[in-house]
Structure 1
Amino acid sequence: MKKIICSALFVICCHTSVFAGDIYVFAGDIYVSPTDGNDTAQGTSAAPLKTIDAALRMAREWRRLELDDKLRGGVNIILRGGTYRLDRPVFIRPEDSGTADSPTVIRGEGSTPAVISGGTSVTGWRKADDDPRIAAKARGRLWVSDAPMQGNRIVYARQMYADGRKALRSTQFGEYRMERMTDFNPTDESITIPTPETDLSRAGQLEMLVHQRWAVAILRVRRMENMGNGQTKVWFHEPESRLEFAHPWPQPVIGGERGNSSFSLNNALELVDEPGEWYQDYPSGQIYYYPKDGEDMAGTDFVVPAMDNLVEISGTRERPVSHIRFDNVTFEHAAWTRPLNEGHVTLQGGFRLIDAYKLDKPGLPHKAALENQAWIARPEAAFKARFASGITLNGCRFAHVGASAVDLEYAVSGSTIDRCTFNDIGGTAVMAGYFGEEGFETHLPYSPAIAQDICSEITISNNVIDDATNEDWGCAAISAGYVKQTNIVQNRVTNVNYSGIALGWGWTALETGMRDNHITGNDVSNYARQLYDAGGIYTLSNQPGSTISGNHISLPADAPYATNERAFCIYFDEATDGFTVYDNDMPERRIGYNQPGPDLKVN
């Protein structure tokens, strides 16, 4: 009898998996290895599969066939260390769902990172031939490579990484440096700037980055004309030209308290004039790079991201995805290429405009003073989920992401992002909730016909976010829209170009379903580095039963190109109401208000 008991205990121990205090007994394990796996193998430790897709399919079949011996306690997809290079996103559907007692867990094994990557290598570097477009100081120093291919197509990129360091896409003045514009003219849709020192007459892919209050615009240059007296007029391609000059909020400022709005010109071979800069030519796709001192081109790992989305969790209202967990997994090299094709003009928070204009006669039934309308679209995201519950990211890492890192888009509930790290994120690190996208005019008060459609019971906790919003400066590090019962707790946020933590949407005092949200115990520093109308913590609209408490918030950075001083430790933007605010640690009580409601209690 003693021998039988010991054998049973041995079996139990061999089939126990431990994740951050949770013990799943008798879990079925599926092993995956990018280096020595094979998708025709058995998925055992000795014979691992090669791809995550194959592992998900095996787990899906176990659930379809109701193999209790495999499902009892959960299914573990164990990723061995190495890079899992994707040629399509990992797609998780309702058939992959686990249960509370039997979740599907995708976890990295051991200390060697398991990296899910949308990147592709850039190889075959050679010294660049003389080209009249190359800046004088860069001649003889540039290297060139043919563009990598994805399938049968050239990969066009806006980001490139050298040994994990983000290379600087060619720019007029240097990283984060700009110059004041002279004029912004909606009549002929032009911007007047000081005439560039560099001859850009052959720069066919030139872009202008425009600083406009709390957002930026990326405008593809169509034509430039030297007007004399040191001034040059610039016109832009559609669709961004019409959007930029028609929408009133935000637009560049001429004659602001601290001067005019600013700009920089980017993306031309002529502008590659400093070590660490790069440029991709069109249509050849050739990539030019100016090496840093001592940089070995043969020994450096160059990567460009080729995919916007790495993981998509997608259910339906009738059949949501449930109980999926990622543990100790790294996500890298998600692209942000859309501005190459259509520019990028935003309303706020990285939400690009589909259409927008000023009303000739202000006022709509829900808001008598409204003088503009806007329709927006959601940013791209490396990891996104919709119609899902019980989604967990635990101890994961996100790096080298062009737009949003994680986005819980719509009808997501009971989900947690905990103890993750986010570094080198182009847009928002963590986004959650609906924001009135696509056909919903963004100023309308949202109230879903089906209450479960609003994102609820989301926990964003104990994460470290360092260097977010470095592509689209107008994003926040953590951004939640129409959500309820959401807790943003004990996160450390630093090095952000706009707001640190943003909660709410809609600019409305009406009931919208947002309620019982809590921002507690976070540390926010070095925010508002480039833009303003910002807050370390920023809120919008009526959110009954919500709190902001126990946060440490430094003073905002001094944005060098801001046209006024509107940046705050906490900013209660339009119609903020329903919050109780107490015990927040700030070097000084720098709090901003914009038409707050009567139930905002600030202690």
Structure 2
Amino acid sequence: MLLKNTKVRITWKFIGLMLISLFIFGLSGCADKPTFVPKELEDADSYMSVFYVSPSGDDANLGSYDAPFKTVAKAQEAIRAVNQNMTSDIAVVLREGTYSLSSSLKFTNVDGGTNGHNVKYMAYPDEEVNLSGGVKLGNWKNEGNNIYSTSVSAGFIRNLYVNGERATLARYPNGNTYATANEWDYENRIIRVYKDDLHGATDFEMVMYMEWSESLVNVDSVSIDGDIATLNLAPWEAEAMFIRRWHEFQYRDDMFCYFQNAIEFLDNPGEFYYDKPAGKLYYMPREGENLNTAEVIAPALTNVIRIEGTSSDEKVSNLAFEGLTVEYSAFSDIVDYGFIELQTGHYAMNRLSGASLGHDVPKGLVQVENAEYISLEYLTIRHSGGTGINFHSGVRHSSIRGCRVDDTSASGIIIAPFIDGVITNQNLYLPIDDDITCNHITISNNYITQAGVEFHRSAALVNVLGYQIEIANNEVAYSNYTGISNGWGWSLNEYVLKDNIITRNHVHHIGMMGNDLGGIYNLNNQPRSEITYNYIHEIGKTGMGLSPLAPADGIYLDEGTNNMVVSHNQIAYANENTRLILYHGAGEDIVEENNKGILQGDTLDQEIIAAAGVQGEYRTILEYLDRQDNSDIVLGIVYGNMVNDEAGLFGYKMKVNETAVLEGLGRYYLPGNHQEHTLTIYNENKEKIASCVVNMATDDKDMQNFVYADFKEPITLTEGEEYYLVSEEFEDGDWYLSNSSQMYLSEKFSVIGIARGENLTSVRNLNSVFVGIGLKLASSDQ
């Protein structure tokens, strides 16, 4: 269990003395076990009140250790009776188990601490506590053709999890392949596509990839004329798609797109579809899944935890949450608005005036509004249909520390989004009322991974319009768009943004489903702000936008960036390898110094690298620490476009500079990969030496994002000889890296060119590769 050790640390802080007492009195055979009350080690009387909650408890109980409440709501009720004039902290200790919620846990002004003291909700030591917004499904009926159904009564179901793995909303084309549009008709506000791509569907969603944004529209009806289908969009989507500013040049007739959420598209294992009128959910199991025993969960709640004060000037305060797992949320606004994206997860929700649209962002599993002195620590946030943690508006003097945020449809963490569709009576760039802003917030030592899983242009960690925001020592990894995005406004004017510090973060394997992005991306004038001492590497792009020239840089200083210090950043293996930092419409008052790039010939500062990312006791949140680390063999990879338009053998040619024993090979993982691939090594005479089969559906990736398999027996690579390493790829199958990608190996090996086809045709081009094939050496050779 990921948080097991961290929970011990958390709860020792609160219960140390009484654990000692329990040890003295004995834990077994004790007829009169003393009441278990958390205490601070340094102060036995540190808590004013303590309440216990357990799934096996009873709300008629007193909420003690021996007689816990059953629900958190009952603990809230008990707290409201004692928190009006607090003299010290109050604790709520949750016992092990899953708390399946029928409604969000809402914390308002009557739930917070008073007189500067906190109300704390925490997990019991060594126990896993899950707060779930999902509904378990069962009673599956075999419909034939490997499709099963179950009866469900729900307003909508857009996400589904089977044994903790996200399922795919039925779509065409399958996997990560894409169709193209046929024509944009501005005058009539309709889109034309190819009839055969719809498979007869008439009520569905269309998803379109643009340059820096992505849009999802609901299709109301379809008209067929020969091979062309005309899509008549829902009224709001038709309006928003065709009137919005700044996006016109992103439209073109052959735009990448796909179609989803219709039973006609349900044809691939791992896909599902919910027929609301019939009240039936259909699912096609993956290989090895048994629906009689599988845990199938449909997220139902928009928020699991919602912290919201009465108003911007009457804030809820002094709440802390520690050591809990918060999971399974849904995002319902698509039903009404579609998802017409402006940038980094902001979707259009109303029309303000002329071509100006109002926006919001997907709600969070943990949603915080009009609050202060809020602490989130050692939480696991996962399986969100929207955002992970959303500090939406009016939040100040708060912190997010030591949290693991994993598998979010939109951003992992977002601060102060541009919600001009929600707050319409103030200029959010220069608000009259400072109480609506987010400020004095610390986001440190968090691990944010797998962000933007559904809304692919959502940055992983975002500060939009917050000021005095410190983003420090976070690790942001394996996500689809920008790693850390800071700012909003595209202007050299001074707005609310100021005094924001982005420092000592570790950002890597970013841009896996996007382009026009950066490891760290910045917008607008931000006096006294800094981007310093960050370690950024493996920043790629996939060519899913319109222009192959769209950038993917280690640091991207976009329009209006000014009055900042950008220094001592260490950058390795970014897609744009001819420059260290991209300036695009930035100002002249930027101090840039002592930044280093490995592809620019610099030697990176190892002390800065070691100090970047999650530090100290917080490192226990990193889920990959037990993964194999081959970073001394595969130094880095720069991925260009993702392709799957050809089948056959693809890879590269390599020269061995030092004899080594090779135990197996690995294939680079890209989003949506799920097939098996045979990896083979040939000698320079094109004779097969060894092969292995990797299963890309496995989670067993190494720290460089490769999935490995072993040969039947190790082989010896001889110094001075050349070898071909190839993977068997499939047309319209798993994405693989195109030959615009590069891979850098240790000095023991040299990549000397791409290789492809049955004849292993090689083109000499140093470091260029197809696919990305890693080397697993015997431990003595590493």
Q: What is the TM-score with the length of structure 1 in the denominator? A: 0.86
What do residues 386-435 of structure 1 show as CA deviations (whole Å, max 9, x unaligned)? 22111111000011100011111222111110110111101111111252
5+ residue gaps, structure 2, are 1-16, 23-33, 594-782
Query: Alignment partner of 2:489: what SS?
Result: coil
Say which SS state the counterpart of residue 457 (structure 1) adopts: strand
Tell me if the contact between 1:444 and 1:506 (Cα under 8 Å) persists in the aligned partners: no
1:570 aligns to 2:555 (yes or no): yes
Using the TM superposition, name which of 588-597 and 296-305 deviates more.
588-597
Cα distance, 1:602 vs structure 2: 2.1
> Residue 556 of structure 1 corresponds to which residue in structure 2?
539
Which runs of at least 4 in structure 1 moved beyond 4 Å after TM superposition? 9-16, 21-24, 355-359, 439-445
Alignment of 1:147-296 (within 5 A): 147=152, 149=153, 154-197=154-197, 199-200=199-200, 203-228=201-226, 230-251=227-248, 253=250, 260-296=254-290
* 3-state SS of paired residue (1:313): strand
SS at match of 2:241: helix
For the 8 Å contact 1:78–1:107, the answer to whether it is kept is yes
* 1:136 paired residue number: none
Partner of 1:367: none
Does the CA contact (< 8 Å) of 1:511 and 1:542 recur in 2?
yes
Q: Is 2:560 aligned against 1:579?
A: no
Change (3 A) 1:22 1:245: farther
Q: Quote the residue 2:583 is aligned against.
A: 593
Instruction: Provide the residue aligned with 2:106 in structure 1.
Output: 91
Q: CA deviation at 1:224?
A: 2.7
Alignment pair present for 1:398 and 2:381: yes
Distance in 2, Cα, partners of 1:213 & 1:24: 58
Q: Aligned to 2:411, what secondary structure does the other structure show? A: coil
**Is 2:73 aligned against 1:53?**
yes
* CA–CA distance in structure 2, aligned partners of residues 13 and 505 of structure 1: 53
1:377 maps onto 2:360 in alignment? yes
SS in structure 1 at match of 2:570: coil
Report the CA distance shift for 1:161/1:602 in structure 2 as closer, same or farther (over 3 A).
same
Answer yes or no: is the 8 Å Cα contact 1:436–1:442 preserved in 2: no
Query: Relative to 1, partners in 2 of residues 1:181 and 1:434: Cα closer, same or farther, differing over 3 Å?
Result: closer
- In 1, Cα distance between equivalents of 2:502 and 2:214: 27
Give, in whole Å, the separation in 2 of the partners of 1:556 and 1:23.
Answer: 50
1:82 aligns with one of 69, 89, 97: 97
Q: Which amino acid aligns with 2:51?
A: I
2:205–2:260: 8 Å Cα contact kept in structure 1? Answer: yes
Q: Residue 63 of structure 2 corresponds to which residue in structure 1?
A: 43
The DSSP-based 3-state class of the residue aligned with 2:239 is: helix
Partner letter of residue 25 of structure 1? S
Measure, in 1, the Cα distance between the counterparts of 2:425 and 2:452. Answer: 22
**Counterpart contact for 2:361–2:417, Cα < 8 Å:** no
Q: CA deviation at 1:460?
A: 0.7
Shift of 1:381: 1.8
**Contact 1:184–1:252 under 8 Å retained in 2:** no
CA distance in 1, matches of 2:216, 2:270: 22
Q: Distance in 1 between matches of 2:427 and 2:222?
A: 39
Matches of 1:533 and 1:324, distance apart in 2: 38
Aligned partner of 2:52 among 19, 31, 50: 31
* 1:160 shift after superposition: 0.6
* Aligned residue in 1 for 2:432: 449
Where do 1:264-413 residues align within 5 Å?
264-315=258-309, 316-355=311-350, 373-413=356-396
* 2:483 aligned partner: 500
TM-score by length of 2: 0.67
- Report how far residue 439 of structure 1 moved: 6.1
Q: Which moved more, 1:110-119 or 1:97-106?
A: 97-106
Q: Equivalent pairs: percent with the same residue?
A: 26
Are the equivalent residues in 1 in contact too, given 2:350–2:421 (CA < 8 A)?
Answer: no
SS class of match (1:543): strand
Report the number of matched residues: 557
Distance 1:204 1:261 in 2: 20
CA distance in 1, matches of 2:205, 2:37: 56
Q: Is the 8 A contact 1:25 1:72 kept in 2?
A: no
The residue aligned with 1:123 is 138
Q: Which residue of 1 aligns with 2:148?
A: 143
Separation (CA, whole Å) in 2 of partners of 1:238 and 1:268: 20
User: Larger C-alpha radius of gyration, 1 or 2?
Assistant: 2
Letter of the aligned partner of 1:240 in structure 2?
E
CA contact under 8 A between 1:252 and 1:261: conserved in structure 2? no
Measured in 1, the distance between the counterparts of 2:459 and 2:429 equals 21
AA aligned to 1:582 is S
Q: Quick one: structure 1 residues 503 and 10, their matched pair in 2 at CA, closer, same or farther if it must change by over 3 Å? A: same
Shift in Å, 1:14? 6.6
Judged with a 3 Å threshold, the aligned counterparts in structure 2 of structure 1 residues 416 and 23 are, in CA distance, closer, same or farther, namely farther
Distance 1:123 1:352 in 2: 34
Q: Does the aligned pair in 1 maintain the 2:198–2:259 contact within 8 Å?
A: no
- What's the offset of the Cα at 1:551? 1.0
Residue aligned with 1:475, SS: coil
Could you tell me how far apart the structure 1 residues matched to 2:417 and 2:214 are? 22
The 5 Å alignment of 1:377-526 reads: 377-438=360-421, 446-526=429-509
Distance, in Å, in 2 between the alignment partners of 1:552 and 1:595 is 24
User: Displacement of 1:52 after TM fit?
Assistant: 0.8
Q: Which amino acid aligns with 1:75?
A: I
Superposition deviation, residue 552 in structure 1: 1.4
> 1 CA distance for matches of 2:426 and 2:591?
25
- Greater relative contact order (CA < 8 Å, ≥ 6 in sequence): 1
**CA deviation map 1:534-560 (0-9, x unaligned):** 111111111100000111112432314
1:437-472 CA deviation, whole Å, 9 max, x = no partner? Answer: 226679966222233442111111111111111121
Per the TM alignment, residue 254 of structure 1 is displaced from its structure 2 partner at its CA by 5.4
- Structure 1 contact 59–96 (Cα < 8 Å) conserved: yes
Q: In the aligned structure 2, how far is the partner of 1:319 from the partner of 1:242?
A: 37
Q: What is the SS of the residue equivalent to 2:443?
A: strand
Distance 1:439 1:111 in 2: 41
Query: Any idea what the Cα deviations from partners look like across 1:1-37, whole Å, max 9, x if unmatched?
Result: xxxxx99x97999755459x99982342100011x11
Check the 8 A contact 1:434/1:454 in 2, yes or no. Answer: no
| Contact in 2 for aligned 1:484/1:516 (Cα 8 Å) | yes
Which amino acid in the other structure matches residue 561 of structure 1? M
Structure 2 distance, partners of 1:445, 1:341, is 24
Q: Give, in whole Å, the separation in 2 of the partners of 1:578 and 1:487.
A: 17
Whether the 8 Å CA contact 1:213–1:251 is kept in 2: the answer is no
72 and 342 in structure 1: CA distance in 2 versus 1, 3 angstrom threshold: same
The offset of 1:324, in angstroms, is 0.7
Contact 1:183–1:192 (CA<8 Å) still a contact in 2?
Answer: yes
8 Å contact from structure 2 (residues 90, 118) kept in 1 = yes
